[in-house]
Amino acid sequence: MKIIKRSGTEDTFDIKKIDAAIRKANDSVIDYEKLSEEKIRIILENVERACENMKRSPGVEEIQDMVENQIMSQRAFNVARNYITYRYRRELVRKSNSTDEQILSLLECNNEEVKQENSNKNPTVNSVQRDYMAGEVSKDITRRFLLAPDIVEAHEKGLIHFHDADYFAQHMHNCCLVNLEDMLQNGTVISETMIDRPKSFSTACNIATQAIAQIASSQYGGQSISLSHLAPFVQVSREKFRRQVRVELEASGIEPSEEIICKIAELRVKEEINRGVQMIQYQVITLMTTNGQAPFITVFMYLDEVPEGQLREDLAAVIEEMLHQRILGVKNEQGVYITPAFPKLIYVLEEDNIREGTKYWYLTRLAAECTAKRMVPDYISEKIMKKLKQGNCYTCMGCRSFLTVYKDENDQPRFYGRFNQGVVTLNLVDAACTSGKNEKAFWEILDERLDLCYRALLARHERLKGTPSDVAPILWQNGALARLKKGEKIDRLLYNGYSTISLGYAGLCECTRYMKGVSHTDPEGTKFALKVMRYLNDACAKWKEKHNIDFSLYGTPLESTTYKFAKCLQKRFGVIEGVTDKNYITNSYHVHVTEEISAFDKLRFESRFQELSPGGAISYVEVPNMQGNLDAVLSVMQYIYDNIMYAELNTKSDYCMECGYSGEIAIVDDRDGKLVWECPNCSNRDQNKMSVARRTCGYIGTQFWNQGRTQEIRERVLHL
């Protein structure tokens, strides 16, 4: 059995250390107050059994809590008091150098918690280590100077989660929709170099990828671009090729007809689109930003975003090539094609592509093939989104956060060039468990926790307020988000709905199960769960009216935080069946991963909750290998179009470098009680010798996960 030390490193469980600590406290009291040998043995057995039953590696603090409780249960109160005093004194000493210990463990690559914090970061790479080191310092500054003590305490206890504290010391925002159209059409500046309007499609793609890298280094969340902003440059290339072909043929003594010129030029256009799309895919994957990972980029594919005619046909050609190249995948070190994590793709289901016989049905079939093999694209229903977003259809920022509808001075909706200020998440499960199933107490506790979130979100807002545009010229001065002057503050972009700020929530499923004794898919549970969602929306509306800031309810994509919340809940409330008995809690409003439900019932049920999560959310269905059943994939896609705004299909795409197995790598228990990945063909367990891609929080992860998330992945039931 393993334990996690305070520094984050993993170590072997040693009952002798616990024995020594108990005896040290025992020796400090007078004889008649001492524990007997039998009682010490019982304490040690109970602690060891409790650790084994956790089905994960417990932390040192958790073990010490168990020891305290066991000593108290033996009514050795003075022994317990002295044990607690000794522990407190040691804590004071440790606090002086806890950040140093964290950083040193990072450098030695043995910090287990950090190694599994982000499924798209490799913690052994120098640039990632540098980012994590800076993050530890930033979190320390945030805890000690920048946040109110009660907010810090609530975060550490898992009542709320203050996201991305490792970037909070800097004046950085979360995620954005890049105004690539402005940057390309009107020129931009990258690394103090003027970039003019591109004169070909491939050049536009190259500029886009360079901008993506710069933007990723200037914020900490995901960014989205639209292919509709690149499509106009296909015509630029077409006109250039026509001129070139004419000159080449005339130089060869051939009098070319317009038909021949156009035919040859179109062949070159096709090659140009291939080069440009390949550039986006390979550069995004191979670029390394200053935070040590590939840019978290989403590519939006929406035909109706451009007018009918040649421009739409060019956009369709770009989308087609994007899908073809993603189906192919990218080569790993062994030269085998595998599934990349980025760019994330979103395909809009529309009236003219959703049914067989419609004009762009061929693209939708290609998207289905891509989903079956590579897990992307995800799908937005134009029909449902227009109902929910005042007649508008647009992409999310990153994996799921959606902007509110904003109209400019000409009363036109505007989405690109906008951003999210940050997220704070409310742990609904903790609020429920704290209430003791008393519903009146639950709503009172919810108000207290919402106030914590409110003040934490305002702290995020205030941290951005007063930020000069000079901190990130690519964002604020050179068109990605704005064209502000040097030295101008970004304040006006923080109000009036131009940007959003997100109240996240997690564990609606477990919250409902605790309060009502049933799943939120049960009619009684559904009624309560919807009431909670409306209550959270009402809070956002109240804050928005007070501050003229667009607070918006957001279905948080918990990655490592799902494990943190679960551990905190077990520490505070013990193991409650169906509520705290897992090493994870459920993302946002989702149906629990272990609950048997069909794909169509799940999407229909969750659509009601997605509507009440206007700041962003995504639903999914878990499916087996679908490469031989594209008709079933298309059926799910058509159901998405008719019933829910934003959804995805989770397939599996793994590869074992040891034996060449291509299929689903399994999750098994090792002898230490830890969950590990194992090739079902050759039993390889070396994570460095396997490629595993799984959808975790709306995006694909490829660097493995912590024990909580790994358990959640293993326990997912199929919906199709």
Cβ contact 268:277 at 8 Å: no
Q: Please say if 479 is a catalytic residue.
A: no
Q: Please say if 681 is a catalytic residue.
A: no
Cβ contact 503:615 at 8 Å: yes
* Average pLDDT of span 100-112: 55
Q: Mutual orientation of helices 428-435 and 439-464 as an angle, nearest 10°? A: 150
Q: Which pair of tokens denotes residue 619?
A: 């639903």
Given a cut of 90, whether residue 154 has pLDDT beyond it is yes
pLDDT per residue over 28-80, tens digit each? 888 888 899 999 999 999 988 888 887 777 888 888 888 888 988 888 888 88
* Annotated active-site residue in 183, 301, 397, 645: 397
Q: Mutual orientation of helices 60-73 and 37-53 as an angle, nearest 10°? A: 140
* Annotated active-site residue in 554, 589, 620, 641: 554
Give the contacts of 659 (CB within 8 A, at least 6 positions apart). Answer: 679, 681, 682, 684
Given a cut of 70, whether residue 378 has pLDDT beyond it is yes
* Average pLDDT of span 18-35: 87
Cβ contact 538:522 at 8 Å: no
Higher-confidence residue: 333 or 427? 427
Q: Please say if 420 is a catalytic residue.
A: yes
Q: Please say if 399 is a catalytic residue.
A: yes
Specify the CATH class of 175-400+647-720 in words: alpha beta
Given a cut of 60, whether residue 274 has pLDDT beyond it is yes
Q: Could you tell me if residue 503 is left (phi over 0), alpha (psi between -120 and 50 degrees) or otherwise beta? A: beta
- Listed in order, the ranges of the chain carrying CATH 3.20.70.20 are 175-400+647-720, 419-646
- The confidence score (pLDDT) of residue 288 equals 56
Least confident of 334-338, 350-354, 538-542: 334-338
Q: Which pair of tokens denotes residue 584?
A: 């994870």
Distance CA 124, CA 288 (A): 14
Q: How many CA atoms lie within 13 A of 378 on its CB side?
A: 30
Distance CA 401, CA 501 (A): 10
Cβ contact 18:10 at 8 Å: no
Distance CA 594, CA 447 (A): 30
Least confident of 91-100, 146-155, 434-443, 643-652: 91-100
Distance CA 547, CA 129 (A): 39
Given a cut of 60, whether residue 99 has pLDDT beyond it is no
- The confidence score (pLDDT) of residue 432 equals 98
* Average pLDDT of span 542-561: 94
- Coil, strand, or helix at residue 128? helix
- The confidence score (pLDDT) of residue 292 equals 53
Q: For residue 571, give Cα distances in angstroms to 152, 318, 673.
A: 18, 52, 19
Distance CA 193, CA 186 (A): 14
- The confidence score (pLDDT) of residue 336 equals 83
pLDDT per residue over 360-371, tens digit each? 999 999 999 999
Given a cut of 80, whether residue 9 has pLDDT beyond it is no
- The confidence score (pLDDT) of residue 119 equals 46
Q: Which pair of tokens denotes residue 163?
A: 């996201």
Given a cut of 90, whether residue 296 has pLDDT beyond it is no
Q: Please say if 69 is a catalytic residue.
A: no
Given a cut of 70, whether residue 133 has pLDDT beyond it is no
- DSSP 8-state assignment for residue 145: I
Given a cut of 60, whether residue 304 has pLDDT beyond it is yes
Beta bridge partners of 553: 503
| CA of residue 113 relative to chain centroid, distance | 17
Q: 17-20, long-range: CB within 8 Å, 24+ apart, which pairs?
A: 18/44, 18/47, 18/63, 18/67, 19/44
Cβ contact 111:7 at 8 Å: yes
Distance CA 442, CA 431 (A): 6
- The confidence score (pLDDT) of residue 328 equals 94
* Average pLDDT of span 163-192: 94
Cβ contact 84:60 at 8 Å: no
Specify the CATH class of 419-646 in words: alpha beta
- The confidence score (pLDDT) of residue 179 equals 98
Characterize the bridge pairing of strands 662-663 and 550-555: unpaired
Identify the helix (H) or strand (E) that includes residue 554. strand 550-555
Cβ contact 232:203 at 8 Å: no
pLDDT per residue over 488-537, tens digit each? 999 999 999 999 999 999 999 999 999 999 999 999 999 999 999 999 99
Q: For residue 648, give Cα distances in angstroms to 61, 302, 371, 639, 699.
A: 39, 16, 9, 12, 10
* Average pLDDT of span 626-645: 96
- Coil, strand, or helix at residue 380? strand
- The confidence score (pLDDT) of residue 652 equals 81
Task: Work out the pLDDT band at 594, boundaries 50, 70, 90.
Answer: very high
Given a cut of 80, whether residue 293 has pLDDT beyond it is no
Q: 442-445, long-range: CB within 8 Å, 24+ apart, which pairs?
A: 442/515, 443/535
Whether this prediction's pTM lies above 0.75 is answered by yes
Q: Which pair of tokens denotes residue 366?
A: 């290609």
Q: Which of 355, 439, 414, 360 is nearest to 642 (CA)?
A: 355
* Annotated active-site residue in 158, 292, 504, 698: 698
* Average pLDDT of span 555-562: 86
Task: Work out the pLDDT band at 694, boundaries 50, 70, 90.
Answer: confident
Given a cut of 70, whether residue 210 has pLDDT beyond it is yes
* Annotated active-site residue in 385, 399, 433, 626: 399
- DSSP 8-state assignment for residue 120: T
Q: Please say if 559 is a catalytic residue.
A: yes
Distance CA 46, CA 66 (A): 9
- DSSP 8-state assignment for residue 680: T
Given a cut of 80, whether residue 115 has pLDDT beyond it is no
- Coil, strand, or helix at residue 580? coil
Characterize the bridge pairing of strands 646-650 and 378-381: antiparallel
pLDDT per residue over 456-500, tens digit each? 999 999 999 999 999 999 999 999 999 999 999 999 999 999 999
* Annotated active-site residue in 57, 226, 228, 401: 401
Higher-confidence residue: 139 or 97? 139
Which amino acid does the sequence have at 306? V
* Average pLDDT of span 649-655: 86
* Average pLDDT of span 110-119: 51
- The confidence score (pLDDT) of residue 8 equals 64
Beta strands in 327-429 (DSSP E): 330-331, 337-338, 344-349, 378-381, 418-427
Torsion, Cα 567 572 573 576, to 10 degrees, reads 0
- DSSP 8-state assignment for residue 489: B
Higher-confidence residue: 672 or 322? 322
Given a cut of 90, whether residue 403 has pLDDT beyond it is yes
- The confidence score (pLDDT) of residue 354 equals 98
Torsion, Cα 274 280 283 285, to 10 degrees, reads -110
Q: Please say if 554 is a catalytic residue.
A: yes
- DSSP 8-state assignment for residue 469: G
Size (the chain), residues: 720
pLDDT per residue over 408-433, tens digit each? 999 999 999 999 999 999 999 999 99
* Annotated active-site residue in 54, 172, 175, 370: 175
Mean pLDDT estimate for the chain:
90
Cβ contact 605:597 at 8 Å: yes
Q: How many CA atoms lie within 13 A of 550 on its CB side?
A: 21
SS (H, E, C) 226-282: EHHHCCHHHHHHHHHHHHHHHHHHHHCCCCCCHHHHHHHHHHHHHHHHHHHHHHHHH
Q: Could you tell me if residue 418 is left (phi over 0), alpha (psi between -120 and 50 degrees) or otherwise beta? A: beta
Alpha helices in 479-583 (DSSP H): 508-516, 523-547, 561-573
- The confidence score (pLDDT) of residue 123 equals 58
Given a cut of 90, whether residue 88 has pLDDT beyond it is no
